[in-house]
């Protein structure tokens, strides 16, 4: 097994995840089987309880593990599905060591960071790599070199480097080269970062230097001299407009050749699929055609990374449809206060994402009401699905005080509630539905035509469900529940007849988590196409309607 470890210095949020995912993409395009592992130094067992404002979105894996958003980059770039074992946190390591100590497995030894904690880290990395049967294991260490939290992991890396063959272990260090007000590229932060790494017994093999602009030859030379690497081991990674361009950018800087030489790799034939995808991105950006405006109504819009997978799913769909688009971020509480209503009305589509809690819920319900009454294409995800049920119950069925018991425990019309079997679970969060689950779609429904299937698998992250006691009243009033779980008890998909609304569609699951650049999520693709049609029907610029480069092929599906 060969290992490539990615560390970061200077500041957090430099792009270690994108760098790791890009290296994985480059290697995969050369025919190598790659498996990523993310090490997070926080003491949390997983990312499930973290505030999106602090950490970005919580990404959900196929087995229901709640993880850091970097896993989304891994899965999208490398087109793979990961599981719990691919995420190692300080909490997981210390919990395992303490449980072993309590069981007496250390035979009375004094349990210490070295060797017990570091051995646990190494054993987990190696066991995951071995079970994957991959050629190369990528290990990203979260945080920044110098953080006290990451010290045990870096020590474990030092030991692994000593234990593995030289050609089987590579260390990539990602640093920052800031610009002064006069535009001068400064190398001192990189020098100090590498110095801190070397003090821990680690010497980087490759330095990926992040900067707003490409590094000059003299700056590369300076970094090479002070950090004791060759000049060609210094990879310039300037800012890009599109993250999917990063693999090509790194490859043009020679990173694959350096990895190939240092790790004795022999495959050089390259798959061109990713290059074609990036070219579509470039064409889309350069397209000066009118853009569809998509209003995203959420409660964490101050940090767009809170909805990163949704942003990417929209992008994937737009790329495949050849559509230019603009995301308009609307804070749900602004709508509650009567603000930004005109922006919503001018949008070509309204998307209400998932979320938890009462804050902003009424604003989201208002957005759904606007979408329904003004026949603006609507896509609801998870909590957005539940609030669409609440809005319909209030304003169409006539249950004025209808609500979810998550928001109002004593509502007289709990159209969204815990199911009976869930109430017996006392532990908070113990009733969460997490990860992949099968959904059965009604034949001849909008949902079935969107997916071109009647049985699908999507990822879930929610606790409350549509209350079965109100399903008949909702369907009698015109709402269609076109998807359920295997038992038929849990509602999974809702829609309105196309003769009543051009596109009113919501799902209990999170389709954004399974969207890929080469395989866009079907609901997002159908939503963007509906937005394009809405734009063409309502725009005043009759001479410049939006065009879909693949419209003829998709038009065959009357519901898409």
List the catalytic residues: 382, 510, 512
Cα–Cα distance list, 440 to 196, 458, 505 (Å): 54, 11, 16
Reduce the DSSP state of residue 474 to 3 states and report it.
helix
- Residue appearing with tokens 């087995």: 63
DSSP state of 148: G
- How many Cα atoms sit within 13 Å of 389 on the Cβ side? 34
Helix or strand run (H / E) with residue 504: strand 504-507
Q: How far is CA 418 from CA 149, 182, 189, 373, 532, in A?
A: 39, 59, 52, 29, 37
CB 441 within 8 A of CB 454: yes
Question: CA 435 to CA 164: how far, in whole Å?
Answer: 35
What CA–CA distances, in Å, run from 100 to 94, 104, 118, 181? 10, 6, 14, 54
264: Cα separation from own chain's centroid = 33
Pairing relationship of beta strands 292-298 and 325-331 according to DSSP bridges: parallel
Name the nearest CA neighbour of 209 among 187, 177, 185: 177
| Helix or strand (DSSP H, E) at 189 | helix 188-199
165 backbone dihedrals φ, ψ, rounded to 5°: -65, 150
> Residue holding tokens 């979408």?
371
Nearest to 437 by CA among 483, 468, 405: 483
* Structure letter (DSSP) for residue 539: -
Structure tokens at 557: 């599906």
Can you tell me which residue has the tokens 């699951």? 509
Contact present, 417 and 404 (Cβ < 8 Å): yes
For 68, the 3-state DSSP assignment is: coil
Q: Which two tokens stand for residue 413?
A: 């019309």
Angle at 372 between CA 367 and CA 376, to 5 degrees: 80
Task: Describe the strand order of the beta sheet including 234-238 as a list of residue ranges.
Answer: 87-89, 34-40, 136-141, 2-8, 169-176, 206-211, 234-238
């Amino acid at each position: 097994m060969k290992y490539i470890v990615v560390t970061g210095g200077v500041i957090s949020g430099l792009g270690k995840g994108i760098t790791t995912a890009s290296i994985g993409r480059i290697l995969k395009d050369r025919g190598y089987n790659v498996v990523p592992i993310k090490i997070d130094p926080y003491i949390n067992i997983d990312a499930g309880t973290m505030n999106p404002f602090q950490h970005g979105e919580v990404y959900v894996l196929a087995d229901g593990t709640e993880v850091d958003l970097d896993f989304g980059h891994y899965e999208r770039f490398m087109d793979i599905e990961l599981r719990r074992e691919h995420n190692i946190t300080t909490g997981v390591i210390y919990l395992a060591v303490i449980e072993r100590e309590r069981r007496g497995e250390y035979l009375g030894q004094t349990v210490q960071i070295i060797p017990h904690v570091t051995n646990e880290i190494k054993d987990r990395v190696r066991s995951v790599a071995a079970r994957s049967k991959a050629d190369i294991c990528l290990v990203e260490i979260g945080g920044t070199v110098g953080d006290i939290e990451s010290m045990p992991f870096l020590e474990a890396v030092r030991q692994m480097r000593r234990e593995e063959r030289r050609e089987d272990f590579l260390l990539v260090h990602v640093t920052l080269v800031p610009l002064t007000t006069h535009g001068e590229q400064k190398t001192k932060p990189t020098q100090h970062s590498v110095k801190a790494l070397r003090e821990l017994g680690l010497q980087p093999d490759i330095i990926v230097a992040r900067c707003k602009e490409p590094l000059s030859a003299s700056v590369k030379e300076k970094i090479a001299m002070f950090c004791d690497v060759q000049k060609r081991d210094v990879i310039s990674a300037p800012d890009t407009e599109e993250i999917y361009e990063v693999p090509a950018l790194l490859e043009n800087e020679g990173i694959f050749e350096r990895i190939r030489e240092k790790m004795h790799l022999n495959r050089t034939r390259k798959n061109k699929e990713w290059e074609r995808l990036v070219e579509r991105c470039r064409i889309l950006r350069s397209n000066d055609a009118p853009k569809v405006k998509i209003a995203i109504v959420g409660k964490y819009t101050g940090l767009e990374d809170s909805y990163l997978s949704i942003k990417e799913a929209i992008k994937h769909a737009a790329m495949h449809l050849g559509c230019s688009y603009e995301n308009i971020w609307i804070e749900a509480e602004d709508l509650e206060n009567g603000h930004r209503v005109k922006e919503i009305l001018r949008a070509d589509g309204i998307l209400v994402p998932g979320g938890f809690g009462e804050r902003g819920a009424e604003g989201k319900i208002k957005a759904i009401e606007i979408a329904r009454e003004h026949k603006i294409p609507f896509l609801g995800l998870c909590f957005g699905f539940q609030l669409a049920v609440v809005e319909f119950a209030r304003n169409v069925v006539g249950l004025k005080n209808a609500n979810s018991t998550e928001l109002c425990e004593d509502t007289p019309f709990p159209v969204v509630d815990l199911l009976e079997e869930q109430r017996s679970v006392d532990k908070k969060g113990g009733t969460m539905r997490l990860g992949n689950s099968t959904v059965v779609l009604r034949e001849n429904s909008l949902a079935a035509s969107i997916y071109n299937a009647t049985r699908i698998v999507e990822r879930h992250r929610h606790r409350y469900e549509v209350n079965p006691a109100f399903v008949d009243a909702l369907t009698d009033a015109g709402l269609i529940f076109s998807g359920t779980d295997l038992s038929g008890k849990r509602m999974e998909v809702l829609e309105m007849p196309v003769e009543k609304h051009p596109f009113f569609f919501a799902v209990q699951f999170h389709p954004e988590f399974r969207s890929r650049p080469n395989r866009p999520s079907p609901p997002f693709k159908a939503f963007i196409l509906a937005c394009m049609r809405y734009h063409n029907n309502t725009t005043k610029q009759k001479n410049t309607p939006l065009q879909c480069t693949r419209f003829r092929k998709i038009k065959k599906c009357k519901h898409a």
